[in-house]
Chains A and B, each alone.
Chain A
Amino acid sequence: MVHMEYYLIVSTIMMFVGIYGFLTRRNLLAMLISVELILNSVDINFVVFNRFLFPGQLEGFFFALFAIGISAAETAVAIAIIINIYRNMRNIQVKNLDKMKW
C-alpha cells in the first residue's frame, strides 16, 4: 500500500506550486487556476487524513465534498468578474488593473 507521506508530498507540492503561480502569473485566468491548485491540494489532504488516520468516520470526506462544491461556486463568480473585466477593457492582463493604487 502507498504510504500516507507520499500523498502529503504531492499535496504540499500542489499547494506551493499554487502559491507560486498565484504570485507570479500575470493573467487573471492563470491566477484563478493557481488558486484552484491550492484548493485541490486541501481536498487531497482531507481525504488522505481521513482514509489513513481516522478511517472510522467520514468528517474529512464530507469536508472535501463541501470544499469542492464551494470552490466551484467561487470560481463561477470569479470567472463572471473576469468576463466583465474582459468586456470593459478587452483583455485580462493584471497590468491593466492599475487604476487604483496607493
Chain B
Amino acid sequence: MDFSGIFTYLYTEIALVGVTVAALLYDLIAGKQGRRYFHGFLCTLMLLFIAGTVIPYHKETVEVFGGMYVYSPVGSIVKSILAIGTLIVFLQSESWLRREDTEFKRGEFYVLTLSTLLGMDFMISSGHFMMFFIGLELASVPMACLVAFDKYRHNSAEAGAKYILSALFASGLMLYGISFFYGTAGTLYFDDIVPGIDGSALQIMAFVFFFTGLGFKISLVPFHLWTADTYEGAPTTVTSYLSVVSKAAAAFTLMVILVKVFGPMAEYWQTLLYIVIVLSITIANLFAIRQKNLKRFLAFSSISQAGYIMLAVISGTPYGMTSLVFYVLVYMAANLAAFGVISAVEQNSDGKTGMDDYNGLYKTNPKLAVIMTLALFSLAGIPPFAGFFSKFFIFAAAFEQGFHVLVFIALINTVISLYYYLLVVKAMFINKNDTPVATFRSDWSTRLSLLLCLAGIIVLGLASCIFDGINLYAFGM
C-alpha cells in the first residue's frame, strides 16, 4: 500500500492531532503556574494551525488510503471555517473556564473539543461509510462529555444524558440503514456504491434510516427533540460550539453524501428533504416565539437555520455547495456573536439567561446590546449584514432548481423569524427593568472574539471576494 499521500493530503488532520497532543502534554507538564498561560498558549497554537491550513494546498480531488479518505479543496475550506469557529469558541470559553469549579478541568475541555473537531474533519473527508461513521462518532462521543461538563450542575448532567442517549439511538438507526445499503449494493465506498443505488423499496427504507443519523446531528425537525434541552443545559460555550461547528460539519457531509452517493435516487431524497425543510423551518419558528430562556430560544432559531441550510442541500449543484459553505460561515459569525454575548452576561451576572433578564441591557451594557442586535439582524437576514446575502444565495440556489413553492414558504418563515428576533431586541432596548444586569467589562479574549464576529457579520456580506473564493473551489465537490 502506498502511504505517501498521508502527509501531502492529510495535513489538516495531522496538524490537528499535533495541536491536541500539545494541549494534552501542556496540561500534564505545566503546574499551577503554567496553567495560567494555558489559554494564551492554546489560542496561539490554534492561530498557527489556522494560518497553516486556511488555504487549500491542492486544487484537485484526491483519494488516499484506497478511497477511504478523500481530499477535496472545498472540504478543506470547510475544515478551516470549522477551525476558525473553534478558535472563537476557545476565546469565549476563557471567562467560564477561569471559574474555580472548572479551572482544573481546563485541559480536558480543550482536548475534548479538539477531538470532536478532528472527528468532524475526518467525517468531511470520508470516502467510505465506515470512515464516515467513525468520524461522526468521534465527533459526538466527546461532545456528550462536553455537554455534561459541569458535572455538579443538575441541568448539565440532564442535558448530557439526553444527548448521549439520543445520539446512540440515532447512530444505531443510521447503522441499520447503512447495513442494508451494504446488502443491496455490495460495497460501502462512496465511488463504487453508486452503480448499486437503484432506488428500490429496500434502499428507500434504508435511506430513511440513514438520514436519521445526520438529521440528528443537524437537528432537523423530526429528530430535533434533544436540541432545546441539550442547548439549555450544556455550558454556554459548549452550546455555541454545538450549534455552529458540529452542525456545519454535518450539513456539509450530508450534502456531499447525498450528491455523490445517492445521486441516482435524487427524486426520493428530494421529496424527503422537502418535507423535512418545511417542517424544520415552520415548527422551529413557531416554538421559538414562545421561549423565555435565551439559550432555548437560540436552539429553536438554530433548528430553523438548519432548515435553511438544507435548501442548499436540496439544490444539489456546485452553486448550492458554495452557498452552503458561505451560509455556514456567515451563520457562524452571527451565532457565535449571540452566544458570546449570552456567555459574557451569564458569567458576569451569576448565571442569568432568561429573556426578562435582558430587559434594559442597553442602558447598562450598550456595546453588548448592540453586538447582540447586529447578530440577530444577521440571523434574520436584514440587508446590510451578511445574513441577508447568505440567505439570498441559498434561496437562489434552490430556486434555480425549480423549488419555487419551497423558497416561498422559506421566505414567509423569514418574516416570522424577524418577529421573534426583534422580541429580544425590544427587550434590550425598550423594556424597562428595575434591576438590569450590572455594568461590567469582560476580559480581553471575550472582547476579541466578539470583535472578530462583529467584523464577520459586517464584512463577509460586503466583500464579494469571499463568496467568489469559495466558488473557485466548489466545482468538483
Residues on A facing B (Cβ under 8 Å): 15, 18, 22, 28, 31-32, 35, 38-39, 41-42, 45-46, 49-50, 53-54, 57, 59-60, 62-63, 66-67, 70-71, 73-75, 77-78, 80-82, 84-85, 88-89, 97, 99-102
Contact call B144/A77, Cβ cutoff below 8 A: yes
Binds A, one of B3-11, B178-186, B309-317, B469-477: B178-186
> Given contacts A38-B173, A49-B183, A100-B232, are A70 and B144 in contact (CB under 8 A)?
no
Contact call B158/A97, Cβ cutoff below 8 A: yes
Contact of B133 among A70, A84, A85 (CB under 8 A): A70
Contact call A60/B182, Cβ cutoff below 8 A: yes
Closest chain B residue to A97, Cβ basis: B158
Residues of A within 8 A of B141 (CB): 70, 73-74, 77
Once the chains are docked, how many angstroms separate the CA of A99 from the CA of B171? 26
Residues of B within 8 A of A75 (CB): 168
Q: From DSSP, what is the main secondary structure of chain B's interface residues? A: helix
Residues of B within 8 A of A102 (CB): 228
Closest chain A residue to B144, Cβ basis: A77
Residues on B facing A (Cβ under 8 Å): 129-130, 133-134, 137, 141, 144-145, 148, 151-152, 154-155, 157-162, 164-165, 167-169, 171-173, 175-176, 178-180, 182-183, 186-188, 228-229, 232-233, 296
Contact call B233/A42, Cβ cutoff below 8 A: no
Once the chains are docked, how many angstroms separate the CA of A62 from the CA of B178? 14
Once the chains are docked, how many angstroms separate the CA of A63 from the CA of B129? 9
Minimal beta-carbon separation of B252 from chain A (angstroms): 22
User: Which 6 pairs, one residue from A and one from B, show the smallest C-beta to C-beta distance?
Assistant: A38-B172, A45-B179, A49-B183, A42-B175, A35-B168, A81-B160
Once the chains are docked, how many angstroms separate the CA of A54 from the CA of B164? 34
Contact of B176 among A42, A53, A66 (CB under 8 A): A42
Contact of A49 among B144, B155, B179 (CB under 8 A): B179
The total of Cβ contacts below 8 Å across the A-B interface reads 117
Contact call A74/B171, Cβ cutoff below 8 A: yes
> Given contacts A28-B161, A35-B169, A100-B159, are A81 and B183 in contact (CB under 8 A)?
no
Closest chain A residue to B177, Cβ basis: A42
Closest chain B residue to A40, Cβ basis: B172
Minimal beta-carbon separation of A39 from chain B (angstroms): 5
Residues of A within 8 A of B145 (CB): 77, 80
Contact call A81/B176, Cβ cutoff below 8 A: no
Contact of A100 among B133, B175, B233 (CB under 8 A): B233
Contact of B169 among A38, A42, A60, A100 (CB under 8 A): A38
Once the chains are docked, how many angstroms separate the CA of A36 from the CA of B195? 33
> Given contacts A38-B176, A63-B188, A70-B137, are A78 and B158 in contact (CB under 8 A)?
no
Contact of A66 among B134, B165, B171, B187 (CB under 8 A): B134
Beyond the given pairs A28-B161, A35-B172, A67-B175, 9 more chain A to chain B contacts, judged by CB atoms under 8 angstroms and listed by A's residue number, are A35-B169, A41-B176, A45-B179, A45-B182, A46-B179, A70-B141, A78-B168, A85-B158, A100-B158
Contact call B160/A84, Cβ cutoff below 8 A: yes
Of the A-B pairs whose beta carbons lie under 8 Å apart in the complex, a sample of 6, sorted by A's number, is A38-B169, A78-B168, A81-B164, A88-B154, A99-B155, A100-B155
Residues of B within 8 A of A49 (CB): 179, 182-183
Contact call B182/A85, Cβ cutoff below 8 A: no
Contact call B161/A97, Cβ cutoff below 8 A: yes
Minimal beta-carbon separation of B162 from chain A (angstroms): 7
Closest chain A residue to B180, Cβ basis: A45
Residues of A within 8 A of B158 (CB): 85, 97, 99-100
Contact call A42/B172, Cβ cutoff below 8 A: yes
Residues of B within 8 A of A38 (CB): 169, 172-173, 176
Contact call A63/B182, Cβ cutoff below 8 A: yes
> Given contacts A42-B176, A59-B188, are A74 and B164 in contact (CB under 8 A)?
yes
Contact of A28 among B133, B134, B151, B165 (CB under 8 A): B165
Residues of B within 8 A of A84 (CB): 148, 151, 157, 160
Residues of A within 8 A of B152 (CB): 88
Once the chains are docked, how many angstroms separate the CA of A89 from the CA of B137? 29
Residues of B within 8 A of A18 (CB): 172
Minimal beta-carbon separation of A25 from chain B (angstroms): 11
Once the chains are docked, how many angstroms separate the CA of A70 from the CA of B188? 18
Closest chain A residue to B159, Cβ basis: A100
Residues of A within 8 A of B188 (CB): 59, 63
Residues of B within 8 A of A67 (CB): 133, 175
Closest chain A residue to B151, Cβ basis: A84
Contact call B164/A101, Cβ cutoff below 8 A: no
Contact of B130 among A63, A78, A80 (CB under 8 A): A63
Residues of A within 8 A of B162 (CB): 97
